Chains A and B, each alone.
Chain A
Amino acid sequence: MRQYEKIDILLVEDNPCDAELSLRALQQKKLANKVEWIQDGADALDFLFAEGAYTDRSGGEPPRLILLDIKLPKVSGIEVLRRIKENPQMRSIPVVMLTSSAEGQDLKECYQLGVNSYIVKPVNFESFQEEVRKAGFYWMLVNQVPAG
């Protein structure tokens, strides 16, 4: 049986380059030692709800922050967001969408589902790092969520 330590950040990102850039940004702020990186929407749901390959996570604590790409294989980021916000135990976990473009329809849908923040990934490296760092910092250290 695999051992799962307490996860701080769940990063759901199918593009390994983007994932590496995000992890590096979080690392530099010392936010990355407890990041779980998952590469598609179906896996993300299994992880969160302790199903499929992650049944042994049952009873484990949920992550404190979810960074979620919109365009994901199998199950889209918007669908993952919907499932999280529909679930009473998961609803209070901050979810930050990370996406390549500010499409009006996505933005609207995410906010209707109750997303906490919506970040357009900049092409520029420094800006991208800055956005990821800011999101990690704010939601991990500044923001207060209801206990348990």
Chain B
Amino acid sequence: MHKLSISELAQGLRSKQFSSVELTQSFLARISQHQALNCFVTVTEGQALQQAKAADLRLASGQATLLTGIPLAQKDIFCTDGIKTSCGSKMLDNFIAPYNATVVENLNQAGAILLGKLNMDEFAMGSSNETSYYGAVKNPWDLTAVPGGSSGGSAAAVAAGLAVCATGTDTGGSIRQPASHCGITGLKPTYGRVSRYGMIAYASSLDQGGPMARSAEDAAILLQTMAGFDSKDSTSVDRPVPDYQAALGNSLAGLKIGLPKEFFGEGLHPEVAAAITDAVKQYQNLGAQVEDISIPNLSLAIPAYYVIAPAECSANLSRFDGVRYGYRCQNPEDLADLYTRSRGEGFGKEVKRRILMGTYALSAGYYDAYYIKAQKIRRLISEDFKKALSQVDVIMGPVAPTPAFGIGEMIDDPIAMYLSDIYTIAINLAGLPAMSVPAGFVNGKPIGLQIIGDYFAEERLLNVAHQYQQVTDWHLYVPKGFE
């Protein structure tokens, strides 16, 4: 059952081939069998079975949605009422969220089953899942490799068939890069498309939640329920949500694809480049035209991002002070000691590094030189993409310069790890939607093709990905040991 698509599962539930309770039990059994992957921080078994019983009743009453009775899992960054929401941090190891994120609420309303909460880099800061307080997640394709991050638990769980699909969040590539490394389909929507209410903030002007699934079709179904205007999120964009499935079948004849030369330069693994080139050829066979384009300021994305994201992180994470919730140090001497030690003991190394960087960039005398300067560079990058997207319909390139690296291989060199985000972070700075779609293997590890579209072009991206998945089977491969 863990290899069926959402549509096939919905069909099976309706024709009573299996019940939601049976389906949920089979996923819970797989989760228990594959605990060594370390995908889950919390498994909500009892609640999942209750939800499944309710879903079976709803299915019988004819009031079901496509997601009713479908077992999925939430990245542990989304607040879940009454359920531990750790954000991968010791700081929130004891935090039982008192309310639901809008994304969680939407999926509950649709009747989806919550299997549990997924491991992630601490406060979504990391590209390997190694910064989690709960330890690294393993990549199902190679147990010695990282799954990517920060939504590494989500990507590994979907790839290993421990959940039908999962939610993720993407601040600098945190949906696309793990999707690429684990061979699944992930979509970072346009900034403002999915509500951030109840999604623990890292860098507020960049964070965006999105679907992670085994196919573009499944991602379309999940996004349909996740997306929409939310008055509780002041940066949510008030714009109707199109029917994402309706456009999946559209022909790609005449589609204009732009290949930015900056995405194929130095540092790109030659076999990754070859896989991307092959994927682009497939698109030409489907009737697309290819043009060379340029994003001249791409290389400035890393410096701009590593000012803006830490600056916003240092402001956002100042709320964790040991007073109202979360970790508090033992026997504080005074209030200053309470703050300093609770934060010092509650946060891990990478989070501290970014708080320090952000505090510095925002401190008196440096604000204009760093934060304002980075925001200006951000506009230049955004203008580059606007110009490119006035010439072509979508932009394609790699997601990451290499396949998944080994656990422990890069953890001591944070700067090298930051540099590996080059193809993803510029898209967050511009606020554009982008996907990772499985496009081959290098040394037995999956490679993702990145597809970038114009603002609110999720429909087009899903269509472009779906058509590719009709003529290729990269997304159908299952890692050995998880068949």
A is bound by B: no
